[in-house]
Structure 1
């Protein structure tokens, strides 16, 4: 079977932590996954199972952590 293509724009925090295991399972089944996330985030990290694209935001990691 052919894998599908997914575009994922996650929220940081528990939303991403819950979604990551689903994406990793889909990635193992040869789906093509692109995750789009801010450059400054707390949980979204690169993986061999998906492509991570980042975009600039006007926050430092410390400023983001203070809002969580």
Structure 2
């Protein structure tokens, strides 16, 4: 996926950064192509597996006693 396509999909670099939970500076450091793990994250959002701006839930330790 090209970086500009991702920006266009979200409307702005700021909106894309918010959706990914990163800074606009981080996105500015990408080349022309979205890094593989970020591309996967965007694909998951597009497939409905993760909503825009939603953080992955943190797992809580379960104590057995």
Q: Name the TM tier (shorter chain).
A: under 0.3
| Greater per-residue helix proportion | 2
Larger radius of gyration: 2
Name the structure with the higher strand share: 1
TM-score for both structures, normalised by structure 2 = 0.26
Tell me the TM-score normalized by structure 1.
Answer: 0.25
